[in-house]
Every structure is written in structure tokens, then in C-alpha cells.
Amino acid sequence: MPGRGRAGTARRTEVRVYANAGPTANRAGAIRPAIVLRGTCDTCRMRAFLIRSALTGFALWIADVLVPGVYFDFGGLTSWWAKTGLVLLVAMVFGLVNGFIKPIVQILSIPLYILTLGLVHVVINALMLRITSWLTTDVFHVGLVVDDIFWSGIFGAIVISVVGWITTMLLKDRPENLYR
């Protein structure tokens, strides 16, 4: 189906131009497309990335509110817009960490997945949260702070996963919602 694909694959848009009759109609009289134009929609992918980053920022903010030990260090920022921009920046860094580092860690920890029946996934999510905290606070000197990886990191990862699951349930990941 056009516009759908697995994560990481190029999403394609398709434009079909139909002919009325003649050489493009088959024997049964059905009209088939005469020209099919295909191409990737870079704007669609960027829009989907920004929507997912905003939802991740919302999940990080909920974790900031609910979990003691997970909070944003805004530095000297006082403006509401600057704080929102920082939350979105942290969400984008978190998305990039989950996109590039997490698959490598998951492949390397396959024996632990088998041994713990998948419970190590929560620890890996906490580790990704801690890596995001380290990147944002050490590189940008403002951002997400996770006090310790054990309690704060694990509870923060659980809250972010639950909020992400709820937002995914409410806003279905369909081309009509993301790629219009």
C-alpha cells in the first residue's frame, strides 16, 4: 500500500494518472493506470519525525512531573518558549539515541532477553534515558537530568513507555495522520 512501510524504510508516495479507454484498458474493460509516478516524500518524513518528537517531549515532561530524580535543568532559561524548545531538543536527542544506540544494545543483549524473559528491556530503556541525560547535560549544559539509573531511570523509562503507548493508542500512526 502506498505510504506505508517498516520503520527505517523510505516511505513512498504514488500518483496515478488514469486513461479513459483505448490501449490502456485491459480485455475485461477495467481501466488501468497509464502512468505511475513514485517518489519519496521528505516533507512527510520530517513531519512524522517532528510529531513523534513532540509526543516524546510530552512523555518526558510527564516523567519530569511524576518521577522524583528525573527533571529538566533549564539553566538560566526563563521564557516558556525556550523551555519548550529545550524539551523538544531533548526529545529529538532521545529519539536519535533510541534510533541508533538502542538497536545495537538490544542485539548485544539477546542472551539477557532470553535469560530474563524480556525484563531487561526496561533496564535498556533506563540506560537510553541515562545516555540522553548524559548527552544533553554534558554537551548542551542544559537538558534532562536523571539522578541514578536504577530507581529514577527505571521508573522514568516505565512512565515514558506508558505515556508513549497511550499517545500511540490515541493518535494512530496512519498516513492520514502523519503524512498529509
For 115-137, how does the pLDDT look when each residue is reduced to its tens digit (9 = 90+)? 999 999 999 999 999 999 999 99
Residue 179 has pLDDT above 60, yes or no: no
Give the domain extent around 33. 12-40
**Number of domains present in the structure of the chain:** 2
pLDDT in tens, 56-99: 999 999 999 999 999 999 998 999 999 999 999 999 999 999 99
Residue 6 has pLDDT above 60, yes or no: no
Residue 139 has pLDDT above 60, yes or no: yes
Same domain, 91 and 164: yes
Same domain, 35 and 122: no
Same domain, 98 and 78: yes
Same domain, 164 and 92: yes
What integer pLDDT is reported at residue 52 of this predicted model?
85
Three-state SS sequence of the chain: CCCCCCCCCCCEEEEEEECCCHHHECCCCCECEEEEEEEECHHHHHHHHHHHHHHHHHHHHHHHHHCCCEEEECCCCCCHHHHHHHHHHHHHHHHHHHHHHHHHHHHHCHHHHHHHCCCHHHHHHHHHHHHHHHHHHHHHCCEEEECCCCHHHHHHHHHHHHHHHHHHHHCCCCHHHHCC
Tell me if the pTM is above 0.75.
Answer: no
In a domain, residue 2? The reply is no
Q: Which three cell numbers stand for residue 10?
A: 523510505
Number of neighbouring beta carbons within 10 Å of residue 97: 19
Same domain, 19 and 106: no
Same domain, 115 and 156: yes
Same domain, 125 and 53: yes
Same domain, 30 and 102: no
In a domain, residue 147? The reply is yes
What share of the chain has pLDDT > 70, as a percent? 72
What integer pLDDT is reported at residue 167 of this predicted model?
84
What integer pLDDT is reported at residue 94 of this predicted model?
95
Same domain, 52 and 74: yes
Which residue matches cell numbers 545495537? 104
Report the pLDDT averaged over residues 131-144: 93
Model confidence at 175, pLDDT cuts 50, 70, 90, reads low
What integer pLDDT is reported at residue 174 of this predicted model?
57
Same domain, 88 and 27: no
